[in-house]
Structure 1
């Protein structure tokens, strides 16, 4: 199961970009809370790195109960994502292993 748009066929060639992450007119689509800083800023294309960011956001959401850098207003959430600093993340709930925390921090780079 692919997490994003940088899918490869078994022979290593790029697969088709049909995951719905990019509109026909080239605009990026997706849930802001899971978009990487370069995608929110508009200077990047979907990649393995942006997929890793989204995966880190998903794990964080599963463990904390909300996406990282959450804000009610999309514009504020976009600002937090573009200017990401790991100090912005809430403390992890008791019981979240140090290994899980390290994985999330490694994915959100």
Structure 2
């Protein structure tokens, strides 16, 4: 009978150890997923910042070139402002299509279709 108790105790101890290992594995997987999502977010943020910085500096550069070609101090900036305004208007007009395209891409990448 005492050996039966020791077997039950060893089985119980093994079960507790197994549950602890599963908890540690779940914690590790969660930390890994959070780190992966954080890395994706940081990369996307930096890429977006770099894109807007290049777009801003490129706009100034092309405005200066347009000023030189038109022999005007302001016409180049007006041309670049008109281009940005047209892009902004197209963005507003096609807002729903842009959102649906972005969400569909996100859904296709991150949500399994079963």
Please give the TM-score of this superposition, normalised by the length of structure 2. 0.22
Looking at CA atoms only, which structure, 1 or 2, has the larger radius of gyration? 2
